[in-house]
Amino acid sequence: MNAMRSIIVGTDFSKGSIVALELAIDIANKMNCDVSLIWVKREKMLMSEDQLNEMANVAQQKLVALCEKYRPRMLYGKIRWEICSGKVAAVIARQATHENAPLIVIGTNGASGFEKYWMGSTAVRIVQEAPVPVITVREGFDFHKDLERIVVPLRVNLNSRQKVAPAAAIAKLFHSEVHILGLIDDPSQAAQLRTYINQTATLLKNDGIKFSATVKKYSNYSDAVLSYAESVKADLVVINTEQDRIIAQLFLGTNAQQIVHNAQLPVMCVHPADIFFLSKS
């Protein structure tokens, strides 16, 4: 076990994964922790062993170059790389546990070459299997080194408020403003939703976090969340996977999966009942 925790960055060398690396470094600098850059040599591909080894050699050169390029940006911790073998999601989850990771950051795009080989829908499987929250980042996100506005959607269900604590932890790191988005599709739930919003507002206020609260009716949850996030120019949306970890390993949840696939901004996915404290030493 490493003495210092590491943020895990799964990479396929795509533009999206580079944006993910830059975001991970920025968070690591706020948290005083390391960054671990992971590339996975996948099993049972339709390639010969020689071809797989050659791909791994090229990947190693790319990893070394990335670490050399970004090492000067690390203010406190270290950046390092590792090539692992196995199924991507399982490997990333294992590394997160081994390195005491507070979170995982990955890119969600993939088109050709390494990108097609590595990522694609794998992002969803990483979220499913991860032992910690996962931030997904899409190529093209206008990254400006600050997460100034964070959207936290709330509905009336058992798990909705469990995303508030990790959202607040990120907000404290970046001095972000949290936008509480209350979503309702049944008027009979209005009073309960107001209670959820008031509880969240109290928590944020006690932590000295700037916030606002809005309530909207919705028919499609993911569309409502992403439309509101776009309207406030949000830098991060924090959602949960809708199920506990055991169920989520089999089925992420329609709403969470749609948001991960369609969001143009970073999304942090939290499994309900995760024990997750960014400030933990």
Q: Mind listing the pLDDT tens digit for each residue in 17-58?
A: 899 999 999 999 999 999 999 999 876 666 677 777 888 899
Kindly report, residue by residue over 176-206, the tens digit of the pLDDT. Answer: 999 999 999 999 999 999 999 999 999 999 9
pLDDT of 278 > 60? The answer is no
- 43-52, 154-163, 189-198, 208-217: range with lowest mean pLDDT: 43-52
**Residue 109: predicted pLDDT:** 64
pLDDT of 280 > 80? The answer is no
Kindly report the length of the chain.
281
Split at pLDDT 50, 70, 90, the class of 242 is low
Split at pLDDT 50, 70, 90, the class of 264 is confident
What is the spatial distance between Cα 68 and Cα 71, in angstroms, rounded to a whole number? 5
Kindly report, residue by residue over 50-86, the tens digit of the pLDDT. Answer: 777 888 899 999 999 999 999 999 999 999 999 998 8
Task: Give me the residue label for tokens 């991970």.
Answer: 24
pLDDT of 254 > 80? The answer is no
Question: Quick one: what percent of the chain has pLDDT higher than 70?
Answer: 84
CA 141 to each of CA 9, 21, 43, 108: distance values in angstroms, whole numbers, following the listed order: 17, 13, 31, 11
Split at pLDDT 50, 70, 90, the class of 244 is very low
Amino acid at 174: F
CB 114 within 8 A of CB 59: yes
**Residue predicted with more confidence, 181 or 244:** 181
**Residue 114: predicted pLDDT:** 45
Phi, psi (deg, nearest 5) at residue 198:
-65, -40
